[in-house]
A and B are shown apart, each in its own frame.
Chain A
Amino acid sequence: MVKFYENYFSYDFAWPAVTLAYFLRYPNPYSSHVLASDTLSRHLDPTTGKLTTVRLLLKRGKLPAAVARFLPKIKESYILESSEVDIRNQTMVTETRNLDWEGVISVVENQVYTPSYSSHNNSSDGEKTDVKLTVKISSRVGSNAREKVADAASSGGLWASWTTGSIQKSIEVIGMKRMREGL
Chain B
Amino acid sequence: MSSSLAPECSEVKERYDQCFIKWYSEKYLRGEAKTDDCKKLFDIYKECLSKAMKAKGIDTMLAEARKNSKDLDMDIGQSR
A4-61, CB < 8 A from B: 16, 19-20, 23-24, 26-27, 34-40, 42-44, 46, 49, 51-52, 56, 58
- Pair B25/A39 contact, Cβ less than 8 Å: no
Judge whether A103 and B68 touch: CB under 8 Å: yes
Smallest CB gap from A24: residue in B: B21
Assuming the contacts A26-B2, A37-B2, A95-B76, asked whether A49 and B65 have C-beta atoms less than 8 A apart, the reply is: no
A138: B residues at CB distance < 8 A: 72
Q: Contacting A27 at CB < 8 Å: which of B2, B6, B62, B65? A: B2
Chain A interfacial residues counted at CB < 8 A = 43
A102 contacts the other chain (CB 8 A): yes
Give bound CA distance, A83 to B76, whole Å. 7
**A116 CB contacts on chain B under 8 angstroms:** none
C-alpha gap A104/B17 in the complex (Å) = 34
In the complex, the answer to whether B62 meets A58 with C-beta atoms within 8 Å is no
Contact A44 B24 (CB under 8 A): no
A residues within 8 A CB of B33? 44, 49, 87
> Which residue of the partner chain A has the closest CB to B3?
A36
The 4 nearest A-B residue pairs measured at CB: A36-B5, A26-B2, A82-B76, A37-B2
Chain A residues near B (Cβ < 8 Å):
16, 19-20, 23-24, 26-27, 34-40, 42-44, 46, 49, 51-52, 56, 58, 78, 80, 82-85, 87-88, 93-95, 97, 99, 102-103, 106, 108, 110, 112, 138
16 more CB-based (< 8 A) A-B contacts, given A35-B5, A44-B33, A87-B29: A16-B25, A24-B21, A26-B2, A36-B5, A38-B6, A38-B9, A39-B13, A40-B49, A49-B31, A49-B33, A51-B24, A51-B28, A56-B58, A80-B62, A82-B75, A84-B77
A-B contact pairs, 27 of them (CB 8 A): A16-B29, A19-B29, A23-B21, A23-B24, A24-B21, A36-B5, A38-B4, A38-B5, A38-B6, A39-B17, A40-B62, A44-B33, A46-B34, A52-B76, A56-B62, A78-B58, A78-B61, A80-B62, A80-B65, A87-B28, A87-B33, A99-B65, A102-B69, A106-B69, A108-B73, A108-B79, A110-B79
